[in-house]
Amino acid sequence: MEKYRTCESVCKGHPDKLCDLISDSILDACLRKDKSSRVACEVLATKGRIIVAGEITCSKKIDIKRVVRNVLADVGYNPRKFLVFVHVHQQSKDIAGGVDRALESREGDTSWYSMLGAGDQGTVYGYATNETSEKLPLPLILSHAICEKLDKVMKSGVIKNIGPDGKAQVTVEYKDDKPKRIKTIVVSVQHGADKDLNDLRNEIISQVLWPVFEKYPFDDETEILINPSGRFVEGGPAADTGLTGRKIMVDTYGGIASHGGGAFSGKDPTKVDRSGAYMARAIAKNIIWCGYAERCQVAISYAIGKADPVAVEIDTFGTGKVAESILCSAVQEVFNLRPAAIIEKLRLTDVIYADTATYGHFRYGLHSWEFLDCYKELREAVKRYVD
């Protein structure tokens, strides 16, 4: 049976992604000076203005305006054309109290990792598939690769007279749940007023698409749409207001898997909608690596101020080789899902979060939650439950 799956990605200069990048760069600046910083930072970008707001508790002073201007310059915007407004305050004492001393600790639990409570409530999801080496959906991998390549050719000048704003979308045709061919490629990129659109199309195909699709080539019937709306001179915050956390499907699994209610960027790792989602991805990837399923989704639910999750669920979409109940029991035996344990295992106070803000949070080989370091313990645990 044939079906289509479509995913999109956006460049660093896309207004929403620019805000994610600024939020995570502010988080990085805080963690560099104080590993115990609490950050929930939101950014809004519009024509000529960047507005930073949220809760920041850090023992050292952070020059937030300087961080913002450095990001703008690195992405390809002129910082002098933006006014920067900062409206931040410290984390609520009520929230901090529940995070600093979890419900379990308040009720007398003295076991390891019992002190730190979840920084928010909600369900987080992790997903993995065996259709690519990255264990991610193929159209998502390709869309990210297009945007990363667009950013590189813009910054290096390989393609001249293009701007920092852009996006990509790839539709892959599947047969029997396996990628068969590339159906459609859509690329939109900001350009100068005097840029010839035919030249732009040829340059995008030769300098971006051919290298990206070398492993999964498109064919003569693949529909390739370059700037289908036509002229794209005015871009970035001048054309479209940006906001932190508005590209959550780009950040995760392209809409192919579930996503919880929370975005990632600008949040310190006590916020389980970030750290918990990273752990859920690590678990799903280890399950796929062990060969227990072809596709797997892990769901973990938390209550604010509580260390232990309130629920853990696993869905293998009918592809499982082992019962989901067994996988769920084995996972909870092998993986400590308390926030303090997740932060320690994934070394989340040492991550450079600006590196996660673009081209997806689950980049192969780049982050600790992508490592496959628990599959042996998982196999042993599953074997015990099966036997």
pLDDT for residue 97 is more than 80? no
pLDDT for residue 3 is more than 80? yes
Beta bridge partners of 298: 126, 314
Q: What does residue 26 show for φ and ψ, rounded to 5 degrees?
A: -65, -45
* Interacting residues of 343 by C-beta distance below 8 A, sequence separation 6+: 116, 269, 270, 275, 349
Are 188 and 235 in contact by the 8 Å Cβ rule? The answer is: no
Give the closest residue to 245 by CA, choosing from 269, 221, 264, 270: 264
How is domain 2-11+138-234 classified at the CATH fold level?
GMP Synthetase; Chain A, domain 3 (3.30.300)
What are the tokens at 254?
Answer: 């392209």
Q: Could you give the 3-state DSSP secondary structure of residue 10? A: strand
Mean pLDDT for 45-63 is 96
Architecture of domain 122-132+269-386: 2-Layer Sandwich (3.30)
Q: H helices of the chain, where?
A: 15-33, 64-75, 93-100, 103-106, 138-156, 197-204, 210-212, 248-251, 272-289, 324-334, 339-345, 375-386
pLDDT value for 96: 65
In our burial notation (b when 16+ CB lie closer than 10 A, e otherwise), range 258-279 reads ebbebbbbbbbbbbbbbbbbbb
pLDDT for residue 95 is more than 90? no
Measured distance CA(54)–CA(26) in Å, rounded: 11
pLDDT value for 110: 84
Measured distance CA(209)–CA(211) in Å, rounded: 6
pLDDT for residue 318 is more than 80? yes
Measured distance CA(288)–CA(244) in Å, rounded: 31
Query: What is the residue-wise DSSP string for 138-198?
Result: HHHHHHHHHHHHHHHHHHHTSS-SEEEEEEEEEEEEEETTEEEEEEEEEEEEEE-TT--HH
Beta bridge partners of 171: 6, 184
Mean pLDDT for 280-299 is 97
pLDDT for residue 175 is more than 70? yes
Measured distance CA(312)–CA(386) in Å, rounded: 19
Q: How confident is the model at residue 114 (pLDDT cuts 50, 70, 90)?
A: confident
CATH 3.30.300.10 in the chain, residue ranges: 2-11+138-234, 15-106, 122-132+269-386
Q: What does residue 79 show for φ and ψ, rounded to 5 degrees?
A: -60, -25
pLDDT value for 86: 98
Percent of the chain residues topping a pLDDT of 70: 98
pLDDT for residue 93 is more than 80? no
pLDDT tens per residue across span 146-156 = 999 999 999 99
pLDDT value for 324: 97
3-state helix, strand, coil in the chain (%, to 5): 35, 25, 40
Q: How confident is the model at residue 98 (pLDDT cuts 50, 70, 90)?
A: low
Q: What does residue 217 show for φ and ψ, rounded to 5 degrees?
A: -65, 145
pLDDT tens per residue across span 177-236 = 899 999 999 999 999 999 999 999 999 999 999 999 999 999 999 999 999 999 999 999
Mean pLDDT for 60-87 is 97
Q: How confident is the model at residue 120 (pLDDT cuts 50, 70, 90)?
A: confident
Cβ count near 305 (within 10 Å): 22
* CATH placement of domain 15-106: 3.30.300.10
Mean pLDDT for 310-335 is 97
pLDDT tens per residue across span 232-284 = 999 999 999 999 999 999 999 999 999 987 899 999 999 999 999 999 999 99
Where is pLDDT greater, at 193 or 103? 193
Mean pLDDT of the chain: 95
Q: How confident is the model at residue 372 (pLDDT cuts 50, 70, 90)?
A: confident
Q: How confident is the model at residue 1 (pLDDT cuts 50, 70, 90)?
A: low
pLDDT value for 22: 98
pLDDT for residue 60 is more than 70? yes
pLDDT for residue 127 is more than 80? yes
pLDDT for residue 117 is more than 90? no
Mean pLDDT for 124-138 is 97
pLDDT value for 208: 98
